[in-house]
């Protein structure tokens, strides 16, 4: 078993082997965890939000949800979830989106895109390899008119979710550094990543 605490605003990555589990623990509560997954044998095969949403018949992920690739093949499956709803549409914060949403004074703030690029470089991945991501623990309600909100999270300290790898995968994580909206309660905190042996 491998257990790592990812500090507030930090990045993390790993190869998770077929049938191994990855447990994400929200140590302090209300912390968004941005997440991407790639086939370790062919990184051109990667998480696809449209394929995943279509396969689930909905935009929120929970126990039983299958993370689908752009080839409509399974990458990982959510096998346990103590929160009940996770976001597929809110995207990752970036210097550009921060500036657009919150003003030019936010330009220098660290963002998830930078975390993804730093970790992805370890596997030969670059900006063109970044796709729409999952936001574990992030609360993004969709109104009847289609507008998205980013509101206080529904997680709590110690709540976990577990995924099973359906093939060897590369996982990239940005422990979201956002401080301009409530996705992290305006104060990013640490999370834990635990890779477990096949069941």
Retrieve residue 13's tokens.
């990555």
Distance CA 65, CA 58 (A): 10
d(CA 28, CA 155): 9
Residue 179 predicted with pLDDT over 70: no
Q: Which pLDDT score is estimated for 146?
A: 73
Supply the pLDDT for residue 185: 75
Output the pTM of the full model.
0.92
Return d(Cα 150, Cα 152) in angstroms, integer.
7
Encode 132-152: b = buried (16+ Cβ within 10 Å), e = exposed: bbbbbbbbbeeeeeeeeebee
Digit-coded pLDDT (tens) for 36-66 = 999 999 999 999 999 999 999 999 999 999 9
- In this predicted structure, what is the pLDDT of residue 139? 84
pLDDT in tens, 129-158: 999 999 999 887 777 777 766 777 789 999
pLDDT-wise least confident of 27-31, 60-64, 176-180, 191-195 = 176-180
Cβ-count burial 16-44 (b if 16+ within 10 Å, e if not): beeebbbbbbbbbebbbbbbbbbbbeeee
pLDDT score, position 106: 63
Question: Which percentage of the chain shows pLDDT scores above 70?
Answer: 87
The C-alpha torsion from 123 through 136 and 164 to 10, rounded to 10°, is: 40
């Amino acid at each position: 078993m491998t257990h790592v605490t990812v500090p507030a605003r930090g990045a993390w990555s790993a190869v998770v082997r077929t049938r191994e589990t990855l447990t994400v623990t929200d140590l302090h509560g209300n912390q968004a965890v941005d997440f991407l997954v790639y086939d370790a044998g062919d990184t051109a095969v990667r998480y696809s939000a449209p394929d995943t949403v279509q396969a689930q018949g909905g935009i929120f992920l929970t126990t039983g949800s299958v993370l689908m690739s752009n080839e409509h093949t399974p990458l990982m499956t959510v096998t346990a979830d103590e929160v009940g709803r996770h976001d597929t549409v809110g995207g990752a914060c970036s210097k550009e989106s921060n500036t657009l949403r919150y003003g030019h004074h936010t330009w220098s703030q660290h963002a998830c895109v930078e975390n993804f690029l730093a970790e992805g470089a370890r596997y030969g991945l670059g900006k063109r390899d970044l796709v729409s991501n999952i936001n574990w623990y992030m609360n993004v309600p969709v109104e009847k008119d289609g507008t998205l909100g980013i509101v206080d999270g529904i997680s709590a300290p110690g709540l976990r979710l577990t995924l099973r790898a359906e093939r060897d995968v590369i996982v990239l994580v940005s422990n979201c550094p956002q401080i301009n909206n409530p996705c992290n309660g305006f104060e990013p905190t640490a999370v834990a990543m635990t890779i477990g042996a096949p069941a």
